[in-house]
Structure 1
Amino acid sequence: MAKAKKNEVDAETEGKAPERKGPAVIGINFGNAYASIAVINNEGEPDCIANEDGERQIAAALSYFGLEEASGIQYIGNQAKPQLVKNSQNTIANFRNQLGKKFSEVTQAGPSTSAPIINHEDQPAYKVTILTPAPPPSVAPTPKATPLPTRPASPIPQEKILTAHDVSVLLFKSLLQSAVDFLGRPVEGAVLSVNTGWNDAQRAALKHAAEEAGIKVLQLLDEAAAAALAYTDAPPHEDPSHALKSDDKTTLVLDLGAASLSLTLLSSKQGLYYTLGVYEKD
């Protein structure tokens, strides 16, 4: 009898993917134009996952349109991109690089195709217009012979100001929810990639935004080092001693972003990477 039950269980589980084991830790690449989420798959390999819209490359953008509902965000991620054409003044994009900066440090690069950057208490911020629900109609009695029906009240336009920090928190919340939906369990921590040329204030601002979104930040990893590690000869889980055996070398990492170019010169010694120099051009 016990053997028959075991065979039934084996038949039911045959062909199913094994359950993910270990802590639910994710990697987040938060670029100025796009973001992505990575997890360790069932084979122990890193895998870039898709969000609920099937997108693996998630636009770092959000747009306000129509009545304010759920913080007023109607579109976030790739759904917000088309709004840059028909609703540009209420669509916020390219905000990551403003994290950790004062408004006086922001470089305005000509006319913007999205909501322009404004000064809000010396912080780079964005001003959008949202529609709040109209107040309920008056309950005061009206004359019996009303010549025309009362017009329904129109929604009231209202300005809303969000700093670069506020917008980043909203995007991080969306990325976290996508990861939770994919994994089917809470995320216990995340490793964030960070621009190699960023200073301490910018790095702290990125970490603060992620933590406010409910993400436990385990580590900030330089983007250039992350790219170099992805192209090592053997993954660490296959040969843990590989890093110590590898020859010392100098590597140039080229990052051609959506709106900028960066070059990072790395030195590798005994499996550890050191930044020798960084060049960035917007």
Structure 2
Amino acid sequence: MTAQIIDGKAFAAQLREKVGALAADFAEKTGRKAGLAVVLVGDDPASQVYVRSKGKATIAANMESFEHKLAGDTTQEQLEALVDKLNRDPAVDGILVQLPLPSHLDEQAVVDRISPAKDVDGLTPVSTGRLALGLEGLVPCTPLGSLMLLKQIHGDLSGMDAVVVGRSILVGKPMAQLLLAENCTVTIAHSRTRNLAEIVRGADIVVAAVGRAEMVQADWIKQGATVIDVGINRLPPEEGKEKGRLVGDVAFGSASEVAGAITPVPGGVGPMTIAVLLRNTLVAAHRIESIDLPEGAL
């Protein structure tokens, strides 16, 4: 069989359009635009590109973008003081500190400083705790985007067997919690799991988020399973080329001949991350202003 290719780029565009319309309505009701503050420390080129794209997407979605670019030698005290300032700023509804931070900074201490009401990355202890308890809160963007793609394909996920390969706080753990909330039977696996291929082979849903290029092979995939590839890895460049191609954690070419549906890399989960970041910012703004979003709007 040939798998259905899950077009994350198209779905993300639809979500961003919905967010933009609702953000315009929010601005009309409140007299201000929802605001997202992104903090970048240092000059990592990939992070700079990502922050720029977030800023453009925020403005395009009828929201305010506040970019704070700090020097690589910024101290812990200076960074935490900025987060405190953004927590108090009524124009800011969402705060995102671009990770990873330079090695001399304590990432967790900085994340812990963010107000849970403005934690659009869903990484504070309060946010992660509410997710684990099944309570309303802000959820990490990539896992939520992945869930949206799964529900687009299947609708109701109840009773499905899901394997999440990866246990990071950014993707693996929150992904498992979201799938549990959808009444899936969930297994969390990782690079040290025994009989990993056999475990993955039993799943109706496979979410690969382990950070190893093409680790999940076609013979790991159950016939007709849905595969969500969160990985993004750059292979060594071929002769005569400056950059190697981007691949996911799944061997896409061969796996797409077995799976029922699969996300490509690039163009799958990646575009959803920024779209859900915008969605989370708008949700945070509505909660801060005590305004209800239309039911089912996002």
TM-score, scaled relative to structure 2: 0.29
Name the structure with the higher helix share: 2
TM-score, scaled relative to structure 1: 0.30
Name the structure with the higher strand share: 1
Q: State the structure with bigger RCO (CA 8 A, min sep 6), 1 or 2.
A: 2
